[in-house]
Structure 1
Amino acid sequence: MSFPRKLKQMMIFVDGVGYAADTESVTLPKLERKLEKWRGGGLGRPANFDLGGGDDLTVEHSYGGPVRALIRQFGAPGMSDVQIRFAGSYQDDSTGQIHSCIITLRGRHQEIDRGEQKVGEAGSFKVKSECVYYKEEWDGVTDVEIDVLGMIEIVGGVDLMAGHRDALGLA
């Protein structure tokens, strides 16, 4: 019998600096495809066309208090000026095996929300970052890599955009 893998430990790195004790939570980007329904003659039901990647690669990360280094990155001019790396250890309680998940992102901060600050109470410090690069690795194997600016989208070792780059003369 197998049980789901559960996150047991995590850490956030921003531009190579680790925030183990500061990190409260992270909401990783959704991986989405934009699909459009089409029902032409001879089809009994609509079929979905794949129009490519979906919405933005947004990551939200929360900390126990203000992180000055992140504040200093606000307004970074380049779309990929800030690197964020999530490192998580997931454990299968049926076997005890621990799996490593590393998600590397590059982008810039869209929003810094300090929430309500009260003396003697834990405050919040939330950062929302929009990314143009996403790479997900499990136990050292890359499962997904998306480079928006490079027109690269690799899933399970297959580059879904290679043919398009070739057709446009970008390869």
Structure 2
Amino acid sequence: MGMPSKLKNMNLFNEGHSYLGLVKSATLPDLARKMEAYRGGGMNGPVKADLGQSDDGIQFEWTAGGLVLQAVRQYGNTSASGVLLRFTGAYQQDDTAEVTALEVVLRGRHESIAMGEAAPGEDTEHKVITTCSYYKLSANGEELVEIDLLNFIERIAGTDMLEAQRRALGI
């Protein structure tokens, strides 16, 4: 029997600038695919065809305490990959004390920045939603997922999922 790895600590970097002590929470992007049911003659039920990444895109939500002007300055960035964010997390298993270093690298732009409630003597925070064109997930230095929507790249556990399609398209 074992115990699950739990997030013990984390950090967020915005263009290399550490938000240690500022970042309060982060919701890592869902890995989601667009699927369409298909049932043809001779099939006793539908099978979902994989049509690529979900129409919801890659969304990263994060909350920072206080006033974080760097993100506000980045709002309205015209490049779909204009902001570089890097999430790092230390996940520890309480039965073995083993620590897994998780890293998520994202490129995108801020879709929304909720400035939060302003009240003297109360906690303040910004909630930011960053829509991403690039996503890379690694654990202990091993690349698990890399998705680069602008460059038609999708690698899962070292397998290039789009290689044959790029070859067929001549790119």
TM-score strictly above 0.5: yes
Where do 4+ consecutive residues of structure 1 move more than 3 Å? none
Over the matched positions of the two proteins, sequence identity in percent amounts to 42
> Residue 130 of structure 1 corresponds to which residue in structure 2?
131
- Rounded to whole Å, the distance in 1 between the matches of 2:81 and 2:24 is 24
Gaps of 5+ in 1: none
**Equivalent residues, number:** 170
User: 2:137 is matched by which residue type in structure 1?
Assistant: E
> Residue 153 of structure 1 corresponds to which residue in structure 2?
154
Spell out the pairing of 1:1-171 with structure 2 (5 A cutoff). 1-54=1-54, 55-170=56-171
Q: What displacement does 1:2 show? A: 1.5
- Rounded to whole Å, the distance in 2 between the matches of 1:94 and 1:45 is 44
Q: What displacement does 1:150 show? A: 0.5
Give the match's secondary structure for 1:149. Answer: helix
Query: Residue deviations 1:2-21, cap 9 Å, x none?
Result: 21110000000000001010
Q: Give TM-score scaled by structure 2 length.
A: 0.97
- Rounded to whole Å, the distance in 2 between the matches of 1:66 and 1:148 is 31
Give the match's secondary structure for 2:165. Answer: helix
Q: Give TM-score scaled by structure 1 length.
A: 0.97
Query: Residue deviations 1:55-76, cap 9 Å, x none?
Result: 2111011011120111111111
- Rounded to whole Å, the distance in 2 between the matches of 1:16 and 1:89 is 18
- Rounded to whole Å, the distance in 2 between the matches of 1:56 and 1:50 is 15
Give the match's secondary structure for 1:85. Answer: strand
110-119 or 133-142, larger mean C-alpha shift: 110-119
Q: What displacement does 1:44 show? A: 1.2
Gaps of 5+ in 2: none
Q: What displacement does 1:77 show? A: 1.6
CA RMSD in angstroms, aligned pairs only: 0.8
- Rounded to whole Å, the distance in 2 between the matches of 1:66 and 1:153 is 36
- Rounded to whole Å, the distance in 1 between the matches of 2:78 and 2:42 is 51
